[in-house]
Amino acid sequence: MSQRVVITGAAGFIGSHLSEALLDRGYEVIGIDNLLTGSTDNIAHLANRAFTFIKHDVTNYVHVAGPVDYVLHWASPASPIDYLELPIPTLKVGALGTHKALGLAKEKGATFVLASTSEVYGDPLEHPQKESYWGNVNPIGPRGVYDEAKRFAEAMTVAYHRYHGLDTKIVRIFNTYGPRMRLNDGRAVPAFASQALRGDDVTVFGDGSQTRSFTYISDLVDGIIRLMLSKVNDPVNIGNPREMTIEEIARTIIRMTDSRSRIVYKPLPTDDPKVRQPDITRARELLGWEPKVQLEEGLVTTLGYFREKVRALPRGTSGPSERLVQ
């Protein structure tokens, strides 16, 4: 009998890829999503497989019939635009949603995996960021709702591990890109891609010197599954340590799309991190994981996906240029 995995946020960018990868490995997957930011388009191709979809808000009680071996909590608005526009749902799913998902794992005796984030490090004063770093977060800033929701989720996850003896994992996810990202979610890769493909100005905030580290989705999913199957309970960074500036990624995308777009610079948003680079020593040593897909290789597939999405937009539809947060 196949092992059963519950994934909250299964219709989102990462959740849908994770669902697909686990199905490919022979697991039965129960996907839960309220479709606030996810889309059934991301999981429609899974319909005739060992996949069950439940539309449900996980901030309410979560019931799944039958045995469950793993609970992966991926439900959350996850782009800066989302948590600026949905601050209370972001806090609720990080707090109440994590509590309900942990309760399901406890009831079923399942392993629990929390999708945390590099945003727990805030605007870091340590570089690169190790898991031992406590972070530099403004709890009442506009980004604070996401940062603190994930920090609270980590604290509750560890409390369930220590108090209830639940087998828990925490993955701290760094910037990830790939097909199924939303064109208008405000993150650097989809924003730059949609603008460059339309020939619009590419919007860079600040002087473009702030750095990010971009991981292709298949590498991230591989790291998550390795952690899920491991005996590791402490947080693990999963991200690509290749650091590059926001301006570099913008110029790379303009070049790869053969676009005539020019870069325009706008003021940096409040509390926008100046640097972001994971120390992946723990992932290498404990999971045998490191990224394999080079940025340009991953961008070929990703830009192909965005090209089709841009073509499908109604004529005259404006892109996300005024709503960007990188």
Active site (catalytic) residues: 146
Give 283's contacts (C-beta < 8 A, 6+ positions apart). 223, 236, 237, 238, 289, 290
Question: Please, are residues 236 and 197 in contact by the beta-carbon 8 Å criterion?
Answer: no
Alpha-carbon torsion angle 172, 239, 206, 144, nearest 10: 0
Question: Please, are residues 238 and 215 in contact by the beta-carbon 8 Å criterion?
Answer: yes
Give the whole-angstrom CA distance, residue 214 versus residue 41. 24
Amino acid at 271: D
CA 34 to the chain's CA centroid: 17
Per DSSP, the chain holds a count of helices (H) and strands (E) of 10, 13
Tokens at 133, concatenated? 């770093």
Whether residue 128 is preceded by a cis peptide bond, meaning omega within 30 degrees of 0, is yes
Amino acid at 21: A
